Amino acid sequence: MSGAFIFNIADHTTSASIYNLNSLNADAVTLDAEDRSGVYAFPIAYSSSEAQKFALAAAGIGLRNDVDVDIDAGISGVNNLDLNSLSITALNNTTVVTASVSAALSGVGDTPSGSNTTSIALTGNVSVNNVDNDVDAFLSDIGTGSITGMDSESFAVDIEAKDTSKIYAVA
């Protein structure tokens, strides 16, 4: 018999934020919060058995990943905001990759003909990925504000929250 169990917990918090200022005056403000982390798990289990009358081989894998990603980028609680340009980006680019392989081989050796023999091979894999992503880009609770310039696409403000995370699982 052979078995493997993997349990990964990943809890990531990434922030690029400005909070609670009386005044924020600048030419350009760029806030980028990005998570590019990864969770990788590759368990393998193998079992073999050989006997003359009864052979049993069993192999199994249990795999669980709990991933919690919180990403915040923004400005909040500013009484007076005066900027030429503003860019806020919150990006989740995390990756979860799991691949599990289990194999069992069972065989009955040389036995006389007419003998009662049994050979059993069992195998199984279970993979569970619990992923909770919270990606926020914000501009909130601003008393008065002015953003006067423009970027190459004729925008004065660029606020983006994007989740490009990936999960690849083979069990």
3-state SS string over 3-50?
A: EEEEEEEEEEEEEEEEEEEEEEEEEEEEEEEEECCEEEECCEEEEEEE
Give the chain's mean pLDDT: 91
Give residue-wise pLDDT tens across range 52-105.
Answer: 788 889 999 999 999 999 999 999 999 999 999 999 999 999 999 999 999 998
* pTM of the full structure: 0.79
Residue 114 has pLDDT above 90, yes or no: no
Task: Quote the pLDDT of residue 51.
Answer: 80
Q: What span, in angstroms and rounded, lies between the C-alpha atoms of 129 and 41?
A: 11
- Arithmetic mean of pLDDT, 20-41: 94
Query: Would you state the pLDDT for residue 34?
Result: 97
Q: What is the pLDDT of residue 81?
A: 95
